[in-house]
Amino acid sequence: MDVAVNKLVKVNINGKDYELLEGMYLTEAVKPIGIEIPQFCAHRWLEPLGACRMCLVRVEKMPKLQIACALPVREGLVVTTESDEIRRAREEMLEFHLLNHPLECPVCDRGGECPLQDLTERYGKYQSRYIEEKLIRADTKLNPFLRMNYKRCILCKRCVRYCDEIAGDHLIEFEDRGGWTKVTTFLGTESPNRFSGNIIELCPVGAITSIPFRFRGRAWELEKTRTVCNQCSVGCNLELHTRLGSLQRIVPAVNEVLDDGHICDRGRFAYGWVHSDARIRKPSLKDNGGFTEISWSEAESIVAQKIRDTVRDYGGDAIGIIAGNSLTNEDYYALRLFAEHGVGTKNVSFSEDICGLSAEHAQLVNVMLSKVGCVEDIMNSELIVLIGADVLEEAPVLGLRVEEAVRKRGATLASISSYNHDSERYANTLVRIKPGAFIFGESAFSSEEFSKLRYEFENRRRISLIFGQELLCGPSPIKSIKAVYQLAQRIERIRQERQNPLERLTVTPIFRGANSLGALILSLKLGVPNQFESMTNILKKATTGEVKLLYLVGVNPIIEYPNGRLAKEAFSKAEFIVAQDLFLTESSALADIILPVSPWIFRDGTYFNFEGRLQRANSCPLTDVVPSDLELFNRLLISMGKGSQFVLPDELFAKLAREADFIPVKQLADIPKAGILTHFESEAHSFEGIEAISTAEEVCSSNSEPLKEFPFYLVPKHYLFRNSVKVRHTKWMQEVVPKDWAILNYEDAQELGISEGDEVVVESKVGSLYFSAKMSEQVPRKVVIIDRNIQDKAINSLVSKEDVAFSVRIKKA
């Protein structure tokens, strides 16, 4: 438990006086003063257990040896951690630990980084006196990623405690008792778990090892590169382990102020695609339906020629450039230069996450950036409100830190959502709204539903609002975002009126991209705002012929853009489409030419995570046959006769930093390991400038009934293990990808005569798709939840942009 660790008290260890933090457990407290007390079952994340007895020490006036892992530092504590008696105790304990242990270090993946190996070498005896028959039990699989080797297990229970106390999913428990105890999943039913990979490092021996990494390299053979994960907006710090020219595994790199060493299973295991054959490695030109590979020089000249012709015939603005949300800041900056100087077009969009966001929303973006909270803000707040945000699925490690704040720092968790999602498991205040009706103004605030929440708003000193994908993927995201900021404004106003001012109020969006914030900053904050256009407008201009050439950079509108029909129409009307991507996706398949680019592990650059923390990504010591985005832009500029504008990310970062005063460091190399928070508050934009949500708008959205013949609300769900292109091309991820479910309420299913697993048709006024039915208590009446990323079943084909609510009907196929 978190003890108020503040006072320094005098203690005597091995005859010398020290000053240590009061209340801290001795095993942790002595680390900074260079004393090592061996431990297996204790860990800073976990409550002390006292099972392995490695940390036995002699405490003055105590008859028996005491375990240091549960001994809080107190004034006048006298402890001996090095003596014959203690040395012998550690030898005895290690002999017991190694009783059943097989001598298979040569074939154990943990070799070279195994605490048991290290401690035995340091404290153990040379020979074990055990000649009896060792307990042998066959290895098993704990889940698709983890292999369990019982012979090596020393039953320190770290894995079980991690799953119960922190990850919150009951993946594994102890079975049987005494010497025959073992770790099992019940019936092999692997409940969905998002952080199971962390128990690989947590296990102090080689009992739990990664299946994808099995026998792929010894710890000392791997080159280690510290970088930042690019699979969600949290930006956990990772270490890429490479060998023989390929990425072998990903492990956490521990950034205390952000991820504290936890990473999710997607960030850890979804890397198989980097070396998959499905990646495009040569430029490909469309000819009668298929693609033929062409040389780089040929491809560059075709694209350059196409751009020059289009500009000559129709002007620069006839070229629409749409960029995804996971490029580095340097790629974005290069793309901006390419668009401004190379092409001279204003039809450029970096806003994949909020596709309606354009230059006119610059003020909203400023407010958004100035109110963003960092992890410390969120964990320090007394009230955390999730507004349409299933953080465990959308930003898993942030979800973990929020739950840590609730468990250990007594924060209150509230959630406003249309259905009960996993991130609500610690919430004690739940507000249910109609799907998509995140537009709450005055009437909602004073409604009965909000009463419990109102009390919290009026009394808590530090509040964090977090809004996420359920809101952003709803029918009217921009209005909903405005509603959130108005809610924040209303809270501030009430607190001023009652002379009970807030200490801290932050509003933090959870976007899908690794650099969504960077994209917004480089387009609608830093750049000349009217140089940018919304993704929606560009697609519309393509349908009207205003935009002739579409240039896609790492984006997949055909399935990602909310209105599938508009995207398809735009693609069909455009005269020429260039796609810069890693894979053949639904969108790049419709392009006229595909220019392959390298994955993020080969790039140096920077990202802004959801906190606005600038973090550096380093490329691992491998070479890739394809260029990075910014290299490609530069080569195109050269082919278009504009000359080389930039070569290295460092140059681009320097330019960016000069332009942005809120970035405190001016050189790429100066960015500290844990990244650096950018503070936009200096341009103290309070909330004005966001026009109030009219009560009319609020009324029409909150009681927007779905149409008679389409009685169900469709809620698009952004899953952690969604079958996106990267997961699709990682073979060991296939078992965790959500099936093609349409999740219904039990009574609704009964009324429609649908049982679990039946094939159902989900129909809207613009399209229909087949799914398999699944029931859950989490889903309220008249709501159906469907994954946004199901291959060949993109639900954006059911949705049209003007819908006030996504309404569908369901019937058995």
Report the chain's terminal Cα–Cα distance, integer Å.
53
Using CB under 6 A, pick the residue from 26, 35, 55, 465 that binds ligand FES: 55
Q: What is the DSSP letter of 583?
A: S
Give the one residue of 11, 46, 52, 601 binding ligand FES; rule: CB under 6 A. Answer: 52
Q: Residue 162 and residue 169: Cα distance in Å, rounded? A: 9
Q: Which stretch binds ligand FES (CB under 6 A): 36-44, 431-439, 505-513, 587-595?
A: 36-44
Report, in Å, the least distance between residue 31 CB and ligand FES: 13
| Binding residue for another protein, selected from 186, 455, 746, 770, defined by CB under 8 A | 186
Q: 129 touches which of another protein, ligand FES, none (CB within 5 to 8 A by kind)?
A: another protein
> Comparing C-alpha atoms, which of 582, 592, 690, 615 is closest to residue 276?
582
Residues paired with residue 249 on neighbouring β-strands, in sequence order: 241
User: 3-state class of 708 per DSSP?
Assistant: coil
Q: Among ligand FES, another protein, none, what binds residue 95 when CB lies within 5 to 8 Å by partner kind?
A: another protein
Taking CB under 6 A as the binding criterion, the range among 51-59, 143-151, 262-270, 278-286 that sits at the site for ligand FES is 51-59
For another protein, give the closer residue by CB, 154 or 250. 154
Which of another protein, ligand FES, none sits in contact with 39, Cβ below 5 to 8 A by type?
ligand FES
Q: Which is nearer to ligand FES, 46 or 535 (CB)?
A: 46
| Cα–Cα distance for residue pair 143/193, rounded to 1 Å | 9
Residue 181 site contact among ligand FES, another protein, none (CB < 5 to 8 Å, cut-off depends on kind): another protein
Determine the Cα–Cα distance for residues 498 and 664; give it in Å rounded to an integer: 37
What is the number of other CB atoms lying within 10 angstroms of the CB of residue 418?
22
From candidates 180, 289, 448, 777, binder to another protein by CB under 8 A:
180
CA–CA distance, 338 with 531 (Å, rounded to integer): 12
Site string for ligand FES, 64-83 (x = CB under 6 A): ---x-x--------------
From 13, 29, 146, 171, residue interacting with another protein (rule: CB under 8 A) = 171
Q: How many CB atoms lie within 10 A of CB 770?
A: 12
> How far apart are alpha carbons 782 and 809 in whole angstroms?
10
Scanning 180-188, 556-564, 599-607, 801-809 for contacts with another protein by CB under 8 A, the matching segment is 180-188
* Beta carbons within 8 Å of 287's beta carbon, 6+ residues apart: none
Question: What phi-psi label fits residue 104: left (phi over 0), alpha (psi between -120 and 50 degrees) or beta?
Answer: alpha
185 lies in the site for another protein, by CB under 8 A: yes
| Residue closer to another protein, measured from CB, 40 or 662 | 40
Q: Report, in Å, the least distance between residue 57 CB and ligand FES.
A: 10
Number of residues that bind ligand FES (CB under 6 A): 12
Q: How far is the CB of 399 from another protein (least distance, A)?
A: 19
What is the SS3 assignment for 245? coil
3-state SS assignment for residue 59? strand
777 counts as binding another protein under rule CB under 8 A: no
The DSSP annotation for 366-414 comes to HHHHHT---HHHHHH-SEEEEES--HHHHSHHHHHHHHHHHHHH--EEE
Pick 84 or 176: Cβ nearer another protein: 176
Report what 99 binds from another protein, ligand FES, none; CB cut-off 5-8 Å by kind: another protein
- Minimum CB separation of residue 88 from ligand FES in Å reads 17
Report the residue from 29, 35, 41, 471 that binds ligand FES according to the rule CB under 6 A: 41
Task: Give the side-chain half-sphere CA count within 13 A for 663.
Answer: 27
46 lies in the binding site for another protein (CB under 8 A): no
Query: Which of another protein, ligand FES, none does residue 177 bind (CB under 5 to 8 Å by kind)?
Result: another protein
Residues 352, 226, 171: CA angle, nearest 5 degrees: 75
Question: Per CB under 8 A, does 178 bind another protein?
Answer: yes
Q: How far is the CB of 5 from another protein (least distance, A)?
A: 18
The burial class, CB within 10 Å (0-12 / 13-18 / 19+), for 805 is buried
Distance CA 413, CA 387 (A): 11
769 phi, psi to nearest 5 deg: -140, 160
Note whether 169 and 399 are within 8 A (CB). Answer: no
Q: Which of 84, 133, 448, 802 binds another protein (CB under 8 A)?
A: 133
Q: Which of 11, 42, 238, 471 binds ligand FES (CB under 6 A)?
A: 42
Strands 593-596 and 576-581 turn out to be parallel
Contact 169, 193 (CB under 8 A): yes
Residue from 715, 713, 733, 708 nearest 723 by CA: 733
- 752 is an interface residue for ligand FES by CB under 6 A: no
Q: Check residue 50 for interaction with ligand FES (CB under 6 A).
A: yes
**Nearest Cα to Cα of residue 293 among 305, 304, 279, 307:** 279
CA gap 82, 60 in Å, rounded? 14
Report the nearest approach of ligand FES to the CB of residue 13 (Å): 16
> Which position among 11, 20, 35, 39 is part of the footprint of ligand FES (CB under 6 A)?
39
Of the candidate spans 47-55, 252-260, 457-465, 701-709, the one that interacts with another protein by CB under 8 A turns out to be 47-55
Strand 56-59 to 77-80 pairing: antiparallel
Q: Are 367 and 687 in contact (CB under 8 A)?
A: yes
Q: Map tokens 């680019």 to a residue.
A: 597
d(CA 47, CA 157): 11
Map the footprint of another protein across residues 616-675, applying CB under 8 A.
none
Question: CA-CA distance, 307 to 301, in Å (whole number)?
Answer: 10
Count of positions on this chain that bind another protein (CB under 8 A): 42
> Pattern 87-116, binding to another protein, x per CB under 8 A?
--x--xx-xxx-xx----------------
Which one of ligand FES, another protein, none interacts with residue 777, CB within 5 to 8 A by kind?
none
Which residues, 600 to 639, sit near ligand FES by CB under 6 A?
A: none
Give the Å distances, CA to CA, from 554 to 341, 529, 595. 21, 22, 10
Q: Side chain identity at 176, as an amino acid letter?
A: D
Window contacting ligand FES (CB under 6 A); options: 34-42, 345-353, 701-709, 789-797 = 34-42
Chain center to CA of 491: 29
β partners of residue 17:
12
CA angle 434, 437, 442 (to 5 degrees): 115
Q: Which does 726 bind (CB under 5 to 8 A by kind): another protein, ligand FES, none?
A: none
β-bridge partners, 322? 349, 552
Asked if 27 and 141 touch (Cβ cutoff 8 Å), the reply is no
Is residue 567 within 8 Å of residue 796, measured between CB atoms?
yes
48-87 footprint of another protein as x/- string (CB under 8 A): xxxxxx--x-------xx----x-----------------
Q: Which of ligand FES, another protein, none is residue 186 near (CB under 5 to 8 Å by kind)? A: another protein
Where are any strands of DSSP class E within 295-411?
319-323, 348-349, 383-387
Smaller CB separation from ligand FES, 56 or 577: 56
User: Is the CB of 408 or the CB of 493 nearer to another protein?
Assistant: 408
- Choosing from 20, 35, 54, 471, the residue that interacts with ligand FES (CB under 6 A) is 54
Give, as ranges, the residues between 12 and 31 that touch ligand FES (CB under 6 A). none
Residue 63 or residue 410: which is nearer to ligand FES going by CB? 63
- The smaller minimum CB distance to another protein, of residues 168 and 675, is found at 168
Q: How far apart are CA 810 and CA 711, in angstroms?
A: 9
Give yes or no for residue 158 binding ligand FES (CB under 6 A): no
Binding test (CB under 6 A) with ligand FES, winner from 29, 35, 53, 421: 53
State both tokens at 309.
């012709």
Give 177 or 214: the residue with its C-beta nearer to another protein: 177
Contact footprint for ligand FES (CB under 6 A): 39-42, 50-55, 67, 69
Contact footprint for another protein (CB under 8 A): 48-53, 56, 64-65, 70, 89, 92-93, 95-97, 99-100, 129-130, 132-133, 135, 154-155, 170-181, 185-187, 189, 191
